[in-house]
């Protein structure tokens, strides 16, 4: 069995129209959400052996603030393929992992992360958490999947169970949807 964490970047700032999408930073709510989620991820205590992340500014800032709040700085592998990747590309990134770590947390963007959950977790009515993701996998959401595989190279559709899901608003109601969301 392998454990996969999925952590979506926190809320980004859209105020500077001159910035490329890749360069958008977090807004104030995003900075707070990243810190709240970083503390939760530490308290959830999975013990992530590898962090794979998009190098987009909003992801790097999310991880920086989350790690600061968690008082942990794990080694991070920045992989450009994760930036705006679809589910198939994210599975390829996971299949390419050397050393076969027992747990990996993937930090990136929607819709790819959400679609990855849908592809890995069967839509058979057995997962109320999957139903929540179908409503929305918001910014800074964190999910944990248990995968019925012995090697990351074997990751495939329907091999997982969604065992944990937390959204920022679950920890701090002020981080819930706003009229702009």
Q: How far apart are CA 95 and CA 106, in angstroms?
A: 13
Q: Does domain 2-175 sit in CATH 3.40.50.1240?
A: yes
Chain segment 54-90, per-residue pLDDT in tens: 999 999 999 999 999 999 888 899 999 999 999 999 9
Pairing state of beta strands 142-147 and 160-166? antiparallel
Q: How far apart are CA 130 and CA 109, in angstroms?
A: 18
pLDDT of residue 179: 57
Confidence band, pLDDT 50/70/90 cuts, at residue 177:
confident
pLDDT of residue 126: 85
Res 178 pLDDT > 70: no
CA 151 to chain centre: 21
Percent of the residues in the chain that have a pLDDT greater than 90, as a whole number: 83
Whole-structure pTM value: 0.94
Q: Is residue 85 within 8 Å of residue 93, measured between CB atoms?
A: yes
Confidence band, pLDDT 50/70/90 cuts, at residue 180:
low
| Environment class of 140 (CB within 10 Å of its CB; exposed 0-12, middle 13-18, buried 19+) | buried
pLDDT of residue 46: 84
Q: Higher model confidence: residue 175 or residue 33?
A: 33
Chain segment 97-148, per-residue pLDDT in tens: 988 899 999 999 999 999 999 999 999 988 899 999 999 999 999 999 999 9
Q: Is residue 52 within 8 Å of residue 116, measured between CB atoms?
A: no
User: Domain ranges in the chain?
Assistant: 2-175
Q: Three-state DSSP class for 179?
A: coil
């Amino acid at each position: 069995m392998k454990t996969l964490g999925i952590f979506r970047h926190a809320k980004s700032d859209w105020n500077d129209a001159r910035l490329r999408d890749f360069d958008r930073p977090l807004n104030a709510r995003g900075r707070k959400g990243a810190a709240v989620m970083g503390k939760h991820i530490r308290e959830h205590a999975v013990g992530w052996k590898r962090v794979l992340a998009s190098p987009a500014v909003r992801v790097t800032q999310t991880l920086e603030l989350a790690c600061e709040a968690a008082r942990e700085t794990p080694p991070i592998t920045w992989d450009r393929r994760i930036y705006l990747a679809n589910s198939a590309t994210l599975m390829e990134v996971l299949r390419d992992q050397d050393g076969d770590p027992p747990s990996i947390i993937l930090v990136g963007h929607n819709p790819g992360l959400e679609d990855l959950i849908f592809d890995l977790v069967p839509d058979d009515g057995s997962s109320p958490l999957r139903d929540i993701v179908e409503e929305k996998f918001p910014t800074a959401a964190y999910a944990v999947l248990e995968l019925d595989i012995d090697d990351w190279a074997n990751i495939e559709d329907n091999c997982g169970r969604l065992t944990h899901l937390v959204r920022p608003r679950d920890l701090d109601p002020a981080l819930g949807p706003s009229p702009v969301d």
